[in-house]
Amino acid sequence: MTHFIALGALAVAQAGGVTTLSAQSGAGPTDADLMSSATNTGAVLTNGMGPRGQRFSPLDQINAQTVSRLVPAFAASLGGEKQRGQESQPIVYDGTIYVTGSYSRLFAFDARTGEEKWEYDARLPDGIMPCCDVVNRGAAIYGDKIIFATLDAHIVALNRNTGKVVWNKKAADYEAGYSMTAAPLIVHGKVIYGNSGGEFGIIGRVEARDVNTGELVWSRPTIEGNVGQLNGKDSTMTGKLNASWQGDQWKTGGGAPWLGGTYDPETNLLYFGTGNPAPWNSHLRPGDNLYTSSTLAIDPDTGEIKWHYQYTPHDGWDFDGVNEFIPFDATVNGKKMKLGAQANRNGFFFVLDRTNGKFVSASPFVTKTTWASGYTKAGRPIYVDSNRPGAPTTDKGASVFSAPSFLGGKNWMPMAYSQQTGWFYVPSNEWGMDIWNEPITYKKGAAYLGAGFTIKPLYPDYIGALRAVDPATGKIMWTYKNKAPLWGGVLTTGGGLVFTGTPEGYLKAFDAKTGQELWKFNTGSGVVGSPVTWEQDGEQYIAVMSGWGGAVPLWGGEVAKAVQHINQGGSLWVFKLPKS
């Protein structure tokens, strides 16, 4: 077959020993196209299938009555020895499927045949320090460009037709522990992204770059005391110096917004979650440690923080707050409200007023939350003080058993919202951890935890649990239990279906109202990517990445041992209904 390989600034086609220049691209998706992408059934233009990230498609050709006939259209391998976790969400446009792969690769496949059009491999240095596998969660498309982030903290824009590098910008210093894995978000002609590396004492930042040039427009640190940038000049300080951090701790405070964000055109706000404070040992950093473990609402044009909500003040369990914040509308006590929801790693499902960040509700969506008994009406956790790991002296402090584990009631894997049922579908896990604190000092490029841990399953028969949650009440409407942890994203459709994958290799479809399993197909490796759907040539397609990996086999303790038999992989699977 014709195989395109991106080589530096040149993309060439190799066919039968003849090398020719690839065709140049034409016009592509605009800002308006991205903003309306949730209702564009002929393409998948954004991570989250719309700027709000609801992951709902109105397509209904594949439904509860027809899904049992779903069959593979093709599978496309990422090839080579670079397997590991494949957490990408596909982007689909103009007959091409774009997926990122492990080790910061980007592929373009023909959406009808699966034939590879081109491949770009980032030239990663040996010293990269990703905390949680060499994953990448997807790309962004705009005009003639496809854009993604790399493990050495670069943002790269490629010509979407050729794989040729348009621009390549260093966003941070990988030698200090910075990395990047999330799919960028494009708003108002700006590529907006967050960094990773909270386990290394870095400073989290949300940044925006000009989509055409890659030049930095603004930078917003997530830790109080650090100063932002706007148009090449210092702008405002994040928060107030030493308001919730002592001494110089704000210089190594973590708070990485490593999952990326969502955007609501109605409020003109970006919603980015922030990660754990550094170090994990909370006794070394008294105070709330703003703005870690929070959702930040950010002006997309200036980078100014408009409001924040902190889910776990003074986080001592690595619960993080980075999970996606999904805008939705609902009626509360007879009043129509613009709301947002987040299923937090700390085990609570939150609903906030997305216009101002005011707390509406918090309900547990897992069976055990030992660290807190609930939340006050003001939105502060009611801590169980005995469940905070003890302060260390010269050796480790007292160990506690805490649930959820630091891998979370829900980790990175995105939930979905159905505009049909009004429910959220949350991929959750039931596990706890023995956790203790240890002495630690900051050293550039070294892990900055100050804690030890062992993760354990709570129940012998299951860990993963896909749950339907009614955001109006916090009630769990149904639960599907899976023996291995769930680590992939969710898709919901106008056909009354919910799709998600399992480490055992299956892509599965469930009835959105009842939770009944209606269909499954084994892809040969664990599914930890996010499924999408679109319409092409009058037919509805479903696509998902297959390839086991991510944080579970690396950090999962006893859980990792239970799933060590699962084979790695690297492939894109595409499904449709057979023609009658």
DSSP string across 44-80 = B-STTSSTT---EE---SS-TTTGGG-EEEEEEE--S
Residues 409, 133: Cα–Cα separation, whole Å: 20
End-to-end distance of the chain based on CA atoms, in angstroms?
30
Among 63-72, 272-281, 378-387, 566-575, name the one with the lowest average pLDDT. Answer: 566-575
Among 141-145, 330-334, 466-470, name the one with the lowest average pLDDT. Answer: 330-334
Mean per-residue pLDDT, 533-540: 97
Under a CB-based contact definition with an 8 Å cutoff, are residues 89 and 183 in contact?
A: yes
Please check the confidence at residue 17 and state whether its pLDDT lies above 70.
no
Mean per-residue pLDDT, 319-341: 95
How does residue 6 score in pLDDT terms, banded at 50, 70 and 90? very low
> So what's the pLDDT on residue 92?
98
Alpha-carbon distances, residue 144 vs 57, 117, 164, 323 (angstroms) = 25, 15, 11, 30
How does residue 26 score in pLDDT terms, banded at 50, 70 and 90? low
Residues 6+ apart with CB under 8 A from 114: 73, 74, 75, 76, 572, 574
Alpha-carbon distances, residue 92 vs 42, 45, 430, 500, 535 (angstroms) = 8, 6, 34, 19, 10
Mean per-residue pLDDT, 174-183: 95
Under a CB-based contact definition with an 8 Å cutoff, are residues 36 and 265 in contact?
A: no
How does residue 305 score in pLDDT terms, banded at 50, 70 and 90? very high
> So what's the pLDDT on residue 12?
34
**178: cis peptide before it, omega within 30°?**
no
Greater confidence (326 vs 24) lies with 326
Please check the confidence at residue 7 and state whether its pLDDT lies above 50.
no
Mean per-residue pLDDT, 468-474: 96
Under a CB-based contact definition with an 8 Å cutoff, are residues 545 and 514 in contact?
A: no
Burial class of residue 18 (count of CB atoms within 10 Å of its CB; 0-12, 13-18, 19+): exposed
Cα angle: 413, vertex 101, 153; to 5 degrees: 85
Tokens (6 digits) for 282: 């909370």
Mean per-residue pLDDT, 120-143: 91
Tokens (6 digits) for 433: 């951890």
How does residue 444 score in pLDDT terms, banded at 50, 70 and 90? very high
Residues 567, 315: Cα–Cα separation, whole Å: 35
Residues 196, 204: Cα–Cα separation, whole Å: 7
> So what's the pLDDT on residue 15?
31
**Over the chain, what is the mean pLDDT?**
93
Alpha-carbon distances, residue 289 vs 202, 274, 419 (angstroms) = 14, 12, 36
Under a CB-based contact definition with an 8 Å cutoff, are residues 298 and 306 in contact?
A: yes
Please check the confidence at residue 288 and state whether its pLDDT lies above 90.
yes
Greater confidence (92 vs 131) lies with 92
Mean per-residue pLDDT, 118-144: 92
Under a CB-based contact definition with an 8 Å cutoff, are residues 254 and 297 in contact?
A: no
- CA dihedral defined by 425, 426, 429, 430, rounded to 10 degrees? -80
Strand partners, 74: 574
Mean per-residue pLDDT, 547-566: 83
Residues 335, 318: Cα–Cα separation, whole Å: 36
Q: Which positions are catalytic?
A: 318
Mean per-residue pLDDT, 263-283: 97
Residues 242, 42: Cα–Cα separation, whole Å: 50
Among 141-145, 184-188, 392-396, 505-509, name the one with the lowest average pLDDT. Answer: 392-396
> So what's the pLDDT on residue 477?
98
**What is the tally of helices (H) and strands (E) in the chain?**
3, 43
Residues 186, 183: Cα–Cα separation, whole Å: 10
Residues 178, 201: Cα–Cα separation, whole Å: 9
- Nearest alpha carbon to residue 491 among 569, 413, 430: 413
Question: What letter would DSSP give residue 277?
Answer: B
Residues 338, 356: Cα–Cα separation, whole Å: 10
Q: In what order do the strands lie in the sheet with 532-536?
A: 71-77, 571-576, 539-546, 532-536
Kindly provide the b/e burial profile for residues 403-432, where b requires at least 16 CB atoms within 10 angstroms of the residue's own CB. Answer: bbbbbbbbbbbbbbbbebbebbbbbbbbbb
Q: What is the pLDDT of residues 201-254, one digit of tens each?
A: 999 999 999 999 999 999 999 999 999 999 999 999 999 999 999 999 999 999
Greater confidence (21 vs 381) lies with 381
Percent share of the chain, pLDDT over 90:
86
